[in-house]
């Protein structure tokens, strides 16, 4: 049996709680609302902590194993606090052929980190990702729900300038979930 949500430090804002209730209403079964509910928690907390898993288990009437299965399968979900911006560069074959290696090397140089590392200020994390389903537009990079395509070192520089101004670069594709 899962721990009561009240026994953990996990707390959502009233706004996110209402959003989750609204999401659940839109799905034929509670369990099918799992992924958008994970996004709703991530949007507020930046990751899904252990208490969030308990919350989802109770709220969606799922087993802890089912919630962990989905959280661990998709690379954009996190169970630990993450850097403000997790840049996931596809390093699979199509993107590799289209220049992913040069883009990764450029990002490593500009951010001063290697793949799999966070910048000391916690603003960025650089990661590799398996095929992101946009092979015809490679090299591509995913930032949360945003996808950036046809990357070049120059395009990456423009993105980093946007971040410096406190703006999220305009994405080529937004993978918004239905809410």
Give the number of other CB atoms < 10 A from CB of residue 128: 14
Which residue(s) pair with 129 in the sheet?
90
Please pick, from the candidates 131, 146, 150, 175, the single residue that binds ligand FES as defined by CB under 6 A.
131
Q: Which two tokens stand for residue 75?
A: 């690379």
Binding status of residue 132 toward ligand FES by CB under 6 A: yes
Q: Is 176:145 a contact under the CB 8 Å cutoff? A: yes
Distance, in Å, from the CA atom of 75 to the CA atom of 78, rounded to the nearest integer, reads 8
Quote the least distance from Cβ 145 to ligand FES, whole Å. Answer: 16
Site string for ligand FES, 81-110 (x = CB under 6 A): ---------x-xxxx---------------
Q: Is 169:156 a contact under the CB 8 Å cutoff? A: no
Quote the least distance from Cβ 45 to ligand FES, whole Å. Answer: 28
Quote the least distance from Cβ 70 to ligand FES, whole Å. Answer: 21
Judged by CB, which is closer to ligand FES: 31, or 173? Answer: 173
What's the number of CA atoms in the CB half-sphere (13 Å) around residue 83? 19
Q: Which residues contact ligand FES by CB under 6 A?
A: 90, 92-95, 131-135, 138, 140
């Amino acid at each position: 049996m899962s721990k009561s949500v009240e026994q953990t430090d996990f707390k959502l804002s009233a706004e996110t709680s209402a959003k989750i209730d609204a999401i659940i209403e839109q799905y034929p079964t509670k369990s099918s609302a799992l992924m958008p509910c994970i996004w709703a928690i991530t949007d507020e907390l930046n990751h899904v902590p252990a208490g969030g898993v308990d919350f989802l288990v109770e709220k969606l009437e799922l087993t802890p194993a089912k919630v962990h299965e989905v959280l661990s399968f998709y690379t954009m979900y996190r169970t630990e606090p993450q850097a403000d911006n997790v840049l996931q560069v596809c390093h699979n074959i199509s993107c590799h052929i289209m220049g992913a290696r040069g883009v990764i090397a450029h990002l490593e140089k500009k951010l001063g980190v290697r793949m799999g590392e966070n910048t000391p200020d916690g603003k960025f994390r650089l990661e590799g990702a398996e095929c992101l389903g946009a092979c015809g537009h490679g090299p591509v990079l995913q930032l949360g729900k945003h996808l950036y395509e046809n990357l070049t070192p120059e395009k990456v520089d423009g993105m980093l300038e946007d971040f410096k101004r406190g703006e999220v670069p305009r994405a080529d594709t937004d993978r918004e979930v239905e809410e």
